[in-house]
Amino acid sequence: MSFPKGLGHLTIMVPRKLLYVRSNYLFGSRCWMIRFSTEILFKSVSFRPFSKKCDNADSEPLENEELLNNLLTMGVDVDMARKRQPGVFNRTDTNEQDLQTFLLSKGASKEVIASIISRYPRAMTRTPESLSNRWDLWRRIVTSDLEIVNILERSPESFFRSSDNLNLENNIKFLYSVGLTHKDLCRLLTNAPRTFSNSLNLNKQMVEFLQEICLSLGHNGPTDFVRKIIFKNPFILIQSTKRIKANIEFLQSTFCLTNEELLSLICGPGAKILDLSSDCMRRSYRNIKDKLSSLGCTAKEIRKFVLSYPDMIFLGEKKFNDKIDCLIEEKVNISQIIKHPRILDSSISTLKSRIKELVNVGYDLSTSNISLLSWSQKRYNAKLKKLCIEQNIVLEN
C-alpha cells in the first residue's frame, strides 16, 4: 500500500488466498482489500499517522557543536557532563559564556566554574538576569560572594536546581517567620542549601508536622522546638514527613521513652539519625544489639550505649562489628566501650595506630581512660608528648 505524501512508502505482502478483510485493526479504520496479484490496494482508508518519521527521522538529535567547543575551551569535563544531563547538549539556548563571566565577576576561578558545569550542566541554561536575582537573594543570608562560591563548588545543584526566584524569596520569608534567625538560615544555606530549592509548600508541611509532634508530646513551645531541631539537624527539611514520623515512633517504642525523654532526644543527640530510612535504622540497631549481647552486655547497658550516642546507628553493620572486634583484640574491655562510645567514630587504622603508640609509652588501656582514642589529632599529640616526657621516651618523627 502507499501512504499519503510525506509518510514514505510501504508495501505489505500477503498470501494469495487472502481475498477480503474488513475492519483492519492495525490502522483502526474500515478498509477493503482486493486481491490483485501480490499487491494490496487500499481504498477509503483513514488512520492516525505514526509518531516516528521515516527515512532519517529516527536518528539521534544532533548535539550543539558550538556549545561543545566552548565547553572544551573552558576546561569542562564534557564526558561527565554528558552522562549527568545529556539533554542540555541538544539545546541551542545555553548561556555557558554568560555563566562563566558572571561567576568570574563573583570571584570564582575558571577551574571551579569548569567543575560546576561538569557536575551540573543545567547551570548553563540560566539567564544572566535570573542568576543575578538569585545571587542577590542568597546574599541576604550569607555575608560574602566567596561564601556562595564555596557552596556552589561543593553543591552546584543547590543554586542552579531551580530558577524560581520567587519561591526562594518566599522560603526565606517563611523560615524567618517560624522563628529561625539569620544565623540559622546561614547555617541552613551552608549545610543544606537544597532546603531553599524546596517548594514553599514542602517546607511548610515539614515545619507544621514538627510543630504537631512537639504539641503531641506535651511541649508548649513549638517555635523553639522547631528551631532547636533544625539547628541540630539542618537536613531535616529535605526529608519526608513519613520518614521522620516512622523514626520517631521507632525510637519511642524501642527504647520505651517517655514524652519528655523523646523530646530531649530528638532535639539533641538524636536529631541527626532522623534522616535515616526506617529500615536502615532498624537493621543497624538490631546489629548493635546482637553484637553487644554476644559480648555479655545487658539490655540496660545497650540502651544506655545507644541513647548516649545515637550517631552510632549511622555505622553500617560491618563497620560497627569490625571496630568492636579491633578494640577487643587490643585488650580494650567492652565495659569501657559502653562508657565511651565516641571512640567508635575513629577509623580502624587510627584506633590501631593510637593503641600501638600508647602501649609503647606504657599506657595501660585496660585500666586507663580510653576516650583519647577519639580525641582530635592536636589534642591527642599533646597527650602523647606528655606521656613520653613522663616515661622519658623520645618520640619518633
For 131-189, the DSSP string reads HHHHHHHHTTTSS-HHHHHHHHHH-HHHHHS---HHHHHHHHHHHHHTT--HHHHHHHH
Place of cell 531551580: 162
pLDDT, tens digit, for every residue of 216-254? 999 888 999 999 999 999 999 999 999 999 999 999 999
Cell numbers given for 89: 547538549
Place of cell 514520623: 245
Other Cβ atoms closer than 10 A to 89: 20
At residue 58 the predicted structure's pLDDT band, cuts being 50, 70 and 90, is: low
Task: Give me the half-sphere count of Cα atoms (radius 13 Å) on the Cβ side of residue 254.
Answer: 19
Instruction: Look at residue 51 in the predicted model and tell me its pLDDT.
Output: 40
pLDDT, tens digit, for every residue of 101-113? 999 999 999 999 9
The mean pLDDT value of the chain amounts to 84
Instruction: Look at residue 48 in the predicted model and tell me its pLDDT.
Output: 36
Q: Which residues, 6 or more positions from 53, have their beta carbon under 8 angstroms from its beta carbon? A: none
User: CA nearest 372: which of 357, 388, 392?
Assistant: 357
Instruction: Look at residue 62 in the predicted model and tell me its pLDDT.
Output: 74
Distance CA 92, CA 104 (A): 23
pLDDT (average), residues 263-291: 93
* pLDDT over 90, % of the chain: 63
Instruction: Look at residue 292 in the predicted model and tell me its pLDDT.
Output: 96
Q: Is 0.85 surpassed by the pTM of this model?
A: no
pLDDT (average), residues 129-149: 93
Q: CB–CB of 158/190 below 8 Å?
A: no
Q: CB–CB of 60/90 below 8 Å?
A: no
Q: CB–CB of 189/196 below 8 Å?
A: yes
**How far is Cα of residue 122 from the mean position of the Cα atoms in its chain?**
18
